[in-house]
Amino acid sequence: MPTITLTFDPTSPPELAEALRTLRLLSQAPEQSPSEPTSLDEATLHERITALIAGYGEGRRSYLGAVAEASPNAAPYAELAALFDSPKAIGGTHSSIERSWRGMGASTDLIHTGLNGNSSMPPEAAAMVLRVLQETSLPAKGGS
């Protein structure tokens, strides 16, 4: 997720106006659709998703499943936050998944998080996540 630093003098009306204009522009930026995770063949994608999911507990599996179930749309931030005790856990979960995914040789993100906190996944990866969760008898959104 990109980080933007906005520096301005809050006592200066022109600088404050420019900062607010910039924030409005950022908040209205269109969501980017996620790029394909990689150009992996189905067997390799299955192997990597299986390894990714096997390394996680219920919380991270639930997060992956919720984002995958929403594909090709984005999973709303409020629904993802409801999976955890703290909304801050979403960031750590997402970061951990992306580090693991990149560690497997991926060159792009598995999950794209928009400016509004909603998260999406390429349809090909989403289908594979749901397939692997089903194969391992793990519920996509948690459960008992």
The span from the CA of 3 to the CA of 26, in Å, is 12
For residue 129, the model assigns a pLDDT of 94
For residue 42, the model assigns a pLDDT of 87
> Per the domain annotation, does 82 fall within a domain?
yes
pLDDT above 70 as % of the chain: 83
DSSP 79-91: HHHTTSSSTHHHH
Cβ atoms of 15 and 25 closer than 8 Å: no
Tokens representing 122 are 């390429």
* 141, pLDDT greater than 70: no
User: Exposed (0-12), middle (13-18) or buried (19+): which is 24, by Cβ within 10 Å?
Assistant: exposed
Q: What is the pLDDT of residues 114-139, one digit of tens each?
A: 888 899 999 999 999 999 999 887 55
If residue 112 lies in a helix (H) or strand (E), which one and from where to where?
strand 112-113
SS3 assignment, position 144: coil
> Per the domain annotation, does 5 fall within a domain?
no
> Per the domain annotation, does 123 fall within a domain?
yes
For residue 26, the model assigns a pLDDT of 67
> Per the domain annotation, does 14 fall within a domain?
no
For residue 67, the model assigns a pLDDT of 95
For residue 3, the model assigns a pLDDT of 67
> Which residues constitute the domain of residue 104?
40-135
Q: What is the pLDDT of residues 30-78, one digit of tens each?
A: 554 444 454 678 888 999 999 999 888 888 999 999 999 999 999 999 9
Q: Which residue has the tokens 């607010």?
A: 20
Q: Is the bond preceding residue 72 a cis peptide, omega within 30 degrees?
A: yes
> Per the domain annotation, does 127 fall within a domain?
yes
> Per the domain annotation, does 31 fall within a domain?
no
> Per the domain annotation, does 143 fall within a domain?
no
Report the chain's C-alpha Rg in angstroms.
18
> Per the domain annotation, does 35 fall within a domain?
no
In the chain, the number of structural domains is 1
Total-model pTM:
0.69
